[in-house]
């Protein structure tokens, strides 16, 4: 199987890449900083391909697909995403644009170009990582990050409806907190206090199982799903106090 993962030089993306490499699949790892990929991984798996990519760069993505997706492209996973803590900092124009390019338009570019390839072969699977933040209903003062993750869910649904007649699956993955390096960095090196946090290994197991089953949506853990449901019942003014 040929697997392309965008945003895979660290964290969940890299862990997913290792899973598919261990299975013997040919895996293309795409990201902005290839130096983050462990040397031992490169030596161990000769079927590993690496491409430097900024998800906002559509032309480079075209070139990568032309090189890697030959003759087929079986699975594309987009884990690239940008988070900005608006509780501590105010979004400026540059960061706002960057978040939109990474979380929304960049994802759309990947899906659009991968779908074009998959439509010619009448097979394939597209996967995007959203967040339980995307399940939060909109309210005054809600974060741009949550809005972008709602867009991921809407985009997945649109592509799922469009591609289903052509035997192409689309899966939206909606995780809670995962104990990644990025999350630990955002929390002064320790994210253990986050509610219902899962390890990368646990997250990879759930995601790859859902992909194998070609599930439309995967939301985990169930406790976080329940918490979001409760929050969505609260009045908007109360949510705004804790944005």
Confidence of residue 86 (pLDDT cuts 50, 70, 90): low
pLDDT at residue 163, as a whole number: 98
Which one-letter DSSP state was computed for residue 91? -
214: left (phi over 0), alpha (psi -120 to 50) or beta: left
pLDDT at residue 88, as a whole number: 61
Q: What is the pLDDT of residues 201-239, one digit of tens each?
A: 999 999 999 999 999 999 998 888 788 777 767 666 555
pLDDT at residue 4, as a whole number: 98
pLDDT at residue 224, as a whole number: 81
If DSSP codes are grouped into helix, strand and coil, which group holds residue 169? strand
In this prediction the pTM is 0.91
Which letter, b or e, does each residue of 94-122 get, where b requires 16 or more Cβ atoms within 10 Å of its Cβ? eeeebbbbbbbebbbbbbebbbebbeeee
Question: Which superfamily does CATH assign the domain made up of 2-241 to?
Answer: NAD(P)-binding Rossmann-like Domain (3.40.50.720)
């Amino acid at each position: 199987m040929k697997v392309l993962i965008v945003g895979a030089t660290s964290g969940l993306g890299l862990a997913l890449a290792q899973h598919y490499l261990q299975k013997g699949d040919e895996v293309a790892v795409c990201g902005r900083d290839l130096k983050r990929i462990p040397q031992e991984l490169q030596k161990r798996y000769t079927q590993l391909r690496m491409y430097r990519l900024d998800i906002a760069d559509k032309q480079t993505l075209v070139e990568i697909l032309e090189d890697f997706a030959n003759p087929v492209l079986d699975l594309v996973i987009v884990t690239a995403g940008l988070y900005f803590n608006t509780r501590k900092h105010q979004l400026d124009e540059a960061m706002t644009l960057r978040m939109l390019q990474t979380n929304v338009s960049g994802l759309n570019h990947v899906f659009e170009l991968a779908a074009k390839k998959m439509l010619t072969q009448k097979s394939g699977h597209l996967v995007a990582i959203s967040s339980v933040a995307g399940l939060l209903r909109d309210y005054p003062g809600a974060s741009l990050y949550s809005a972008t993750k709602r867009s991921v869910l809407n985009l997945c649904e649109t592509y799922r409806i469009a591609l289903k007649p052509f035997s192409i699956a689309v899966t939206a993955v909606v995780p809670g907190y995962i104990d990644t390096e990025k999350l630990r960095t955002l929390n002064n090196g320790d994210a253990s206090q986050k509610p219902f946090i899962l390890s990368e290994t646990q997250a990879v197991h759930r995601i790859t199982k859902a992909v194998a089953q070609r599930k439309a949506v995967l939301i985990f853990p169930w406790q976080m799903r329940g918490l979001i449901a409760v929050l969505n019942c609260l009045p908007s003014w109360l949510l705004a106090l804790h944005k």
